[in-house]
Amino acid sequence: MASILIQQSVKDYSEWKKVFDSLSSLRASKGALSDQVFQDASDMNKVTVLVQYNSVESAKAWAESPELRAAQEKAGILGRPNVSILQEVGR
């Protein structure tokens, strides 16, 4: 199991969320299994997204996709998002 962790600041959370939700089917077609969205408790326009994938390769493919880049521009991302590819480890 792998995940993408994206931390970003957005102009307007409501507008960002509309774009994020519109990509649900596209994320699934690229291998996304589930996603979670978090807002910073002190700044609602600081957003963290966690998306799970079956493999690191699928996660990397989405993180590097032109579709994600275009969506980030449309969604009003401020600055450069912090993107991490995480791999689950056994307990």
Q: Give the range of the structural domain holding residue 73, as residue numbers without chain letter.
A: 2-87
* CATH number (domain holding residue 24): 3.30.70.100
| pLDDT at site 7 | 96
* Cα(5)–Cα(53) distance, integer angstroms: 11
pLDDT classification of 49: cutoffs 50, 70, 90: very high
What's the number of domains the chain is made of? 1
91, pLDDT greater than 80 = no
What's the whole-model pTM score?
0.89
Neighbours of 26 (CB within 10 A): 14
